[in-house]
Amino acid sequence: MQDYPPARIRNVALVGHGGAGKTSLAEALLYRAGAISRLGRVEDGTTVCDHEPEEMTRTMSVSLAVAPCELEGHKINILDTPGLADFVGEVDAALRVADLAVFVVSALDGVEVQTRTIWRMAAERRLPRMVFVNKLDRERADFERTLDELRAAFGTGIAPLELPIGEASAFHGVADLLTDTAYLYDQRPGGGGEAVAGEVPEEMEAQERRVHETLVEGIVEADDVLLERYLEGDSPSFEELEAVLAKGVARASVFPVVCGSATVPVGVDRLARFITEIGPSPLDHPPIVVRAGDVDVEVSPDPAGDPLAFVFKTIADPFVGRVSVFKVLSGTLGHDEHLRNPRTGHDERLHALFGLRGKEHVEVTRVTAGDIGAVAKLRDTRTGDTLAPRSLPVVVPPLVPPAPSLSMAVRPRTQADDDKLAGALHRLGEEDTALVVVRDSETHQILLQGQGEAHLALVMARLARAFGVHLDTEEVRVAYRETVTGRAEAEGRYKKQSGGHGQFGIAWVRVEPLERGAGLQFVDAVVGGAIPRQFIPAVEKGVVEAMEQGGVHGYPVVDVRVTCFDGKFHAVDSSEMSFKMAGALAFREALAQAGPVVLEPVSFLSVVVPNHQLGDVMGDLNARRGRVQGTEPLGDGEQEVAAMVPSSELVRYAVDLRSLTGGWGRFTARADHYDVLPAHLVDRLVQAAPA
């Protein structure tokens, strides 16, 4: 594959809701460009981009795939992304390095929830966008309805450039609204070849002219010179309209809509040409801001500049090891290039560069500014890292993984699995930055935290397939605690005699409550030498160990003041051990008499839902013992609900909210405080506790 200057590179992310046809479209684009000789099918597991075993089994994308192709003097780097919300981190990585996001929308299902979510992500980055309305060859496909939904969801910037010719199985072409030309395709099985240009069918001439005029008016309004000429009756040329349109796309103020079917394929060649003709190149974006110490530095995609690369994905390849996929932000990278990773301070040697087309390694001699490449076996570079020259220690803002929304407790099935688990999770974490592994010191569980059930199921499958690590799941335990509500005093007596020196220690302690979050306050109130000074720390140590071992119900004790105020000792038999035991015994006795209660963790929950689902979500929060703090309108027909909810009620909230709202709801939760667990739930907790 030859080198291309930045002006002729197009980095295009295919994004949208699951099932809209992104991978099929990527396959069709590769086919149209001549990069592959036949069209693969998602259903058969034969596409270039869905090459992981889990993707073939599930017939859906679960990770970001890169597939370059060459078309009419341009290089298009296709970034095929998953559509399931569980893998939104992969989408974010693609948007970070893309110069254009093509939203694939099904003409059957219209604008779905994940399309809106990703549109919001792209808008926050001011990333140029266009839309491909797919599946127009299917029954019930409706282009006009889909177009109306796009306008309602994303505003007046939506600009259709094509109209479909024919419906459902009779769909066989598109009408180009800029040139008033019809492009017709062979409808025979295996057809759909290159389009044949012709006249717009007579039955849709009136509609085409009406939409054409609306489109032209919208374009010329963005250019004062063209607008003046247009008002004087001078029609702009196609080249002039296209140039103004390209500027609007680059500014992310105009969002062209084209149409077709990826599986036939019809309209895909037209999409490819629009990408090369009006799609932005890396040069059309503002310079990237990077950090050099405490100073911001702007970097432009200049092939002659200092070499700088950003690693946006890591792949655990079973044959070549860790593969780092990067975008060159400046300069030109060649074989055996030496760069430094500012995060680690280590030098990295880029031995053999290559391109990726799905799982295939494509040989390249160098990678220029604006382009995407890959390298294997870097020593200590991971996703989100910068590779920079030693003389230019700059850092690109790293990728921020999405916060976990679901936890799964796991345990190794065998000792052999346990031995391999840590290494396997480390390697998998390099590839999947959305995976968080927590070893809970209170519940003694290993927690895999991710974006949802599908994400964590994929993690389990990959651990078994790639690393031979088999795990069993168990219920996530909540980190309950105990405290007291009253005051009590008790004696702890430890006496043991067994030939020679014995053990003797007596300690009196008083237990009383403290405010939430205060922990332990130990007070030495012993007077008159009832307990020698050197043994007081032993009493405190016994109290601390007893608190950690658990109170009446077996949970760690917190937020208490413990006062040691009296005791007795023996000149020969007393020791640190005897007073440590006496302190523990006294504390346990006093705790049982001081009104012990169980504390449960409470989380601050922020839920964003459409207005019409607000009542359902608030009712569900009330059923979870939540206390709603308030609601706030966000615009775009959404409301934000703030609530305090017991953490035990949120273990599967990611799954339940998705089900309750059809995927439209989203939330964040963070630990806030501990509160008293109602007595009837304490009884239930005791009954459910393992014997």
Q: What is the DSSP string of 581-625?
A: HHHHHHHHHHHHHS-EEEEEEEEEEEEEEEGGGHHHHHHHHHHTT
- The pLDDT of 8-22, averaged and rounded, is 97
Residue 354 has pLDDT above 80, yes or no: yes
The reply to whether CATH 1.10.3720.10 applies to domain 600-688 is no
CB neighbours (10 Å) of residue 228?
A: 11
Residue 607 confidence class, pLDDT cut points 50, 70, 90: very high
CATH 3.40.50.300 placement within the chain: 6-204+254-283
CA distance 529 to 509: 15
Q: What is the pLDDT of residue 689?
A: 62
In degrees rounded to 5, what are phi and psi of residue 426? Answer: -65, -45
Global confidence as pTM: 0.89
- Asked whether residue 153 carries a pLDDT value surpassing 80, the answer given is yes
Confidence of residue 52 (pLDDT cuts 50, 70, 90): confident
Per-residue pLDDT at 35 = 93
Per-residue pLDDT band at 297 (split at 50, 70, 90): confident
481-594: which CATH number, 3.30.1360.120, 2.170.150.70, 3.40.190.10, 3.30.230.10?
3.30.230.10
pLDDT at 237: 86
| Residue of 236 and 646 predicted with greater confidence | 646
Architecture of domain 6-204+254-283: 3-Layer(aba) Sandwich (3.40)
CB 371 within 8 A of CB 75: yes
Report residue 294's pLDDT band, with 50, 70 and 90 as the boundaries: confident
Q: Residue 521 pLDDT > 70, yes or no?
A: yes
Q: What pLDDT is recorded for position 249?
A: 95
Residue 476 has pLDDT above 80, yes or no: yes
- Tell me how far apart the alpha carbons of residues 321 and 376 are, in angstroms, rounded to a whole number: 7
Read off the pLDDT band of 609 (50, 70, 90): very high
Residue 336 pLDDT grade (very low, low, confident, very high; cuts 50, 70, 90): confident
On the question of pLDDT at 9 being above 80, the answer is yes
- What is residue 456's predicted lDDT score, i.e. its pLDDT? 95
Q: pLDDT averaged over the chain?
A: 92
Q: Which is nearest to 478 in space by CA: 169, 250, 685?
A: 685
Start and end residues for every CATH 3.30.230.10 domain found in the chain: 481-594
Q: Tell me the per-residue pLDDT of 98-108, one tens digit each, with 9 for 90 and over.
A: 999 999 999 99
Helix (H, G, I), strand (E, B) or coil at 389: coil
Residue intervals in the chain for CATH 3.30.70.870: 406-474
Alpha-carbon gap, residue 309 to 312, rounded angstroms: 9
pLDDT on residue 690: 57
Q: Which of 168, 99, 161, 166 is nearest to 131 (CA)?
A: 161
pLDDT band at 95 (very low <50, low <70, confident <90, very high): very high
The Cα 50–Cα 354 span in angstroms is: 19
| Token duo for residue 180 | 């008033």
Over range 455-484, report the average pLDDT. 93
Find the mean pLDDT for residues 551-562.
Answer: 93
Q: For residues 63-85, give the mean pLDDT.
A: 95
Say which CATH topology domain 406-474 has.
Alpha-Beta Plaits (3.30.70)
Range list for CATH 3.30.70.240 in the chain: 600-688
E runs forming strands in 83-187: 100-106, 129-134, 158-160, 162-165, 173-176, 181-184
Q: Which CATH architecture has domain 288-387?
A: Beta Barrel (2.40)
| pLDDT at residue 193, as a whole number | 61
If pLDDT is split at 50, 70 and 90, which confidence band does 393 have? confident
Encode pLDDT of 409-436 as tens digits: 999 999 999 999 999 998 888 889 999 9
CATH 2.40.30.10 domain span(s) along the chain: 288-387
Give me the mean pLDDT over the 212-223 stretch: 87
Q: How many Å separate Cα 688 from the centre of its chain?
A: 35
Express each pLDDT in 563-605 by its tens digit.
Answer: 999 999 988 888 999 999 999 999 999 999 999 999 999 999 9
Whose CA is closest to 591, among 511, 521, 491, 482? 511
